[in-house]
Structure 1
Amino acid sequence: MQTVTLPHPNTLIAVEPLDYPNTYDIHTPHRHNYFELMLIETKGGHQFIDFTKHPLQAQQVFIIYPGQVHLLARENAHGIVLQFKKEIFDFLFPLKHHQFYKETPLLKVSPNCFKHLCDLSHTIGHFLKEENPSALAKEKVYSYLKIILITIIEQQGNKSISLEQQNFASTFLSLLEQHIFTKRKVTDYTKLMGLSNDKCTLLCKQTFGKTPLKLIHEELLMQIRRLLLLNQYTLKEIAFELNFDSQAHFSSFIKQVTGKTASDLQTEMLNIYQTTS
């Protein structure tokens, strides 16, 4: 499965129409290494985000995160796509990338809010087309993007969290992303963060409403499902790739978390794309 990058390595953000000419094969599942904010203006077609099919309807907003499996069948749909790297949050203080993670990528907004997001996106696109933009012009781009993202946070109904919780969430999620293939005990992460188990559990429950072990298991299962979807490895090879002690331990984890066997889970993953694409 290919990993798609923004076309210009030094570009932190891009604005494109939904039907722009992609530089990669749009007919096969792929991953982005950047965020993608998709505004659907007219309906038509569907897309898969990880393991769920979403019909494309007018005035929908989708948030696709780095690393998610994606497949888009645009058909007659039109809209706007904002693509931006995680590093852009260095310029968007106090916003953090973790504030946009939610269980479903689909966000429903009012017609006025949708128009507001589209207008701001077009404005960013206008600035990006300028030759030799000034430093102030770049700041305008960051400012408009910040307004867009703040609006999305408000629409999601995200509760206000303390600075301590923001810093914890950003650090914990980043560590999970970096180390999930080799570290899956709560103590692995508390040591990296210099926290006690009790403090880590408290902050996880306050910030995510889940225990740290639950978050670790969810991230590990997500990586397992993505590797199963590739259909390039045997179950034994996936267990080895994820550093399980044995295939039996790997299968036991899947059974414990999903109630399914590893083979059944793989069949389920492959059927999602093959029978409904």
Structure 2
Amino acid sequence: MTEIMDIVSLPTEQLLSVESLDYSNSYNYKTPHRHNYFEIILVNEGEGHQFIDFQKYSLSKGSIYLVYPGQVHLLRRNQANGLLLQFKKDIFEFIFPIRHYDLFFKQAELKLKLKDFELLHQLFKQIEILNLNQDSTHLSFCKIYSYLEIILITLIENQSTGVFFDQVNFSAKFILAVGENIKTKRKVVEYAELLSLPKDKLTAICKKTFGKTPLKIIHEELLLEIKREMILNEASLKEISYDFNFNNPANFSKFIKSNTGKSASELKAELLTLYNL
């Protein structure tokens, strides 16, 4: 099996960076990996493709993508060129009131109007210039944070669904809570308690925002995290089942079968084939 890298990090002292799409990575980007930071990919021209959480996306001129921390990523640049904006979750301390969970979008590929794409490209370049300046001042960093805030606001505005903000806010917090607790909490009522919401209200918000019940979302997130472990972890299926707190491997296999129509071993083989591993 090809060596698989798990978590990729930015340098400890670095909150943000802008790189060209063809920059010299410090890790093997040709194998599946996960970042512990956000990555916004802006493609100027050329072509290629990438996988973000097992979904294949073509790279083409004018396209933009958001990779969230923890997502499985594999980028095949080919002839594509553009810019990468990478930033840690800690940076949200400086761009209040935007929160990292405001960036929970339904799709990794973001559709923007040409004028918005050009604006983001200009802001990426401005951040790059300021970031490379050896004589940066406190005001320089204020500019960087302001430019980043405009970028994120632009993305959020373009992904607006017309759902009331408080509903989006609660649904994003729910998704975040599920991601953080998926190995130990599987019941809707547990998440309703975490969010201090009545169970019925959480159900109504999820149906309005996602068109799904909270339980469906919990099961989807559980399956997604299991798939991530299958592709990034060389543990056996039995070990993975216990890691996710299934009572026994049989229940683990039953969950996989009911949600994919495949056995656990068939699903893992399919994922390895998808990434040519």
TM-score (norm 2): 0.90
Per the alignment, residue 107 of structure 2 pairs with 104
CA offsets 1:27-64 (integer angstroms, 9 cap, x no match): 21110011100001121332221212223211110111
Distance verdict in 2 for CA 1:230–1:155, change over 3 Å = same
Per the alignment, residue 147 of structure 1 pairs with 150
Amino acid at match of 1:57: S
Per the alignment, residue 9 of structure 2 pairs with 5
Q: Which runs of 5 or more residues in structure 1 are unaligned?
A: none
Per the alignment, residue 27 of structure 1 pairs with 30
Q: How does 1:129-148 map to 2 (within 5 A)?
A: 129-148=132-151
Equivalent position to 2:88, from 79, 85, 89? 85
Q: CA deviation at 1:205?
A: 2.8
Q: CA deviation at 1:20?
A: 1.1
Q: Is 1:156 paired with 2:150?
A: no
Q: Is 1:41 paired with 2:74?
A: no
Q: Once superposed, what is the RMSD of the aligned Cα atoms?
A: 2.0
Q: CA deviation at 1:230?
A: 3.0
Distance 2:215 2:194 in 1: 15
Amino acid at match of 2:270: E
Distance 1:259 1:146 in 2: 43
What secondary structure is seen at the aligned counterpart in 2 of 1:15?
Answer: strand
CA offsets 1:179-222 (integer angstroms, 9 cap, x no match): 11111111222232333222322333344332221221111011
Q: CA deviation at 1:166?
A: 4.8
Contact 1:40–1:78 (8 Å) recurs in 2? yes
Distance 1:215 1:61 in 2: 25
Distance 2:227 2:190 in 1: 23
Deviates more, 1:132-141 or 1:75-84: 132-141
Amino acid at match of 2:256: I
Distance 1:184 1:126 in 2: 46
What secondary structure is seen at the aligned counterpart in 2 of 1:121?
Answer: helix
Distance verdict in 2 for CA 1:45–1:166, change over 3 Å = closer
Amino acid at match of 2:164: I
Q: How does 1:48-127 map to 2 (within 5 A)?
A: 48-127=51-130
What secondary structure is seen at the aligned counterpart in 2 of 1:83?
Answer: strand
TM-score (norm 1): 0.90
Contact 1:161–1:207 (8 Å) recurs in 2? no
Distance verdict in 2 for CA 1:56–1:140, change over 3 Å = same
Contact 1:96–1:166 (8 Å) recurs in 2? no
Distance 2:205 2:113 in 1: 33
Per the alignment, residue 203 of structure 1 pairs with 205
User: Number of aligned pairs?
Assistant: 273
Per the alignment, residue 241 of structure 2 pairs with 239
Distance 1:193 1:55 in 2: 37
Contact 1:186–1:213 (8 Å) recurs in 2? yes
Distance 1:135 1:159 in 2: 37
Contact 1:38–1:79 (8 Å) recurs in 2? yes
Contact 2:163–2:208 (8 Å) recurs in 1? no
Distance 1:103 1:161 in 2: 16
Amino acid at match of 2:7: T
Q: Give the fraction of aligned pairs with identical amino acids, expressed as a percent.
A: 48
Contact 1:96–1:170 (8 Å) recurs in 2? no
Per the alignment, residue 175 of structure 1 pairs with 177
Amino acid at match of 2:101: H
Q: CA deviation at 1:255?
A: 1.8
Amino acid at match of 1:5: S
Per the alignment, residue 193 of structure 2 pairs with 191
